Structure formats: structure tokens, C-alpha cells
Copies of this chain bind each other. A is one copy, B any other.
Amino acid sequence: MAFRSKLKIRFGDIDRAGIVYYPRFMHYFHVALEEFFAGQLGIEYHTVVDTHRIGLPTVHLECDFSRPFSYGDNIEVEVRILNMGRTSITFGYRVFREGEDDPRIVGRNVTVCLDMDSFKKMDFPDWFRQLLEEQLRDT
């Protein structure tokens, strides 16, 4: 079973139309990704960024939204690794309302492995690649 991060829709996440402001879902994706690192990869995302000086900026994003979320909804954001290249990795996200079987949002983003000091793209270091590839097999 794929990793899921449980989140709550917050009072301030709602927009003038009374549903979750859609840019908030990209924030939820990132929060869930941080939880995926801590809970599934066994390394905190801040350790990757601050200690190993590796960044994962998004170069492509796509997302389908089939039903909106309201204040009071509890959500689960599933995170998977969909694909991995030498210098890039694709994460997949599915957002469920708690208790529902079908996701209301399905998205993915492609990120590249960035040397945070030179701000240049680089190959994933071996230790990091191994960690990530293990998830690729499992999910």
C-alpha cells in the first residue's frame, strides 16, 4: 500500500467560492512529500536540503481535479515515485477525502536533482538513488 499523509483542510485554506483555493493543493503535495521523506524514505527532507545540499525543484506539474474539498474535510494525500531518471524523479499524488475510494485529485510533478551550492543540475548521488529506487520498486 502506497504511503499516505493525513491532513486537515484548514479555515484559511478556503477561498471566496467556499472551497479549497486550488494553489493550496500544491502546498499539500509538498507537505505530503516532506512526510513521505520522513516516514517512507527514512530521511527528513530538511536533511536532504540543509545537510546534503540537494534541492528538488519542480520542472513540470500536472493535475486533475474532479471534485472540490470543503472546510471540515479530512484528506489523505498519497505519494508515490512514478519514474526515475539519472537527474530527475517524478512523484505522483492522489488526494482522497477520508473514507472515499476514489481520489478527487490526481497529480504528478517532475523534479530535478539540484546541487544547492552551484544551483546546477546533477546526477543523483548513489546513496540517494538507492533510497529512491527502493520506493520505486515497492509502490
Which of the segments A45-53, A76-84, A86-94 contacts the partner chain? A45-53
1/0 per residue A12-52: CB within 8 Å of B?
Answer: 10111111011110110111001000000000111101100
Which applies to chain A's interface (DSSP): helix, strand, loop or mixed?
mixed
The number of residues on chain A lying at the interface, defined by a beta carbon within 8 Å of a beta carbon of chain B, is: 43
A:102-124 near B, CB below 8 Å: 107, 114, 116
Compute how far the CA of A57 lies from the CA of B107 in the bound complex, rounded to whole angstroms. 16
A-side residues, CB < 8 A to B, are: 8, 10-12, 14-19, 21-24, 26-27, 29-31, 34, 44-47, 49-50, 55, 57-66, 68, 71-72, 107, 114, 116
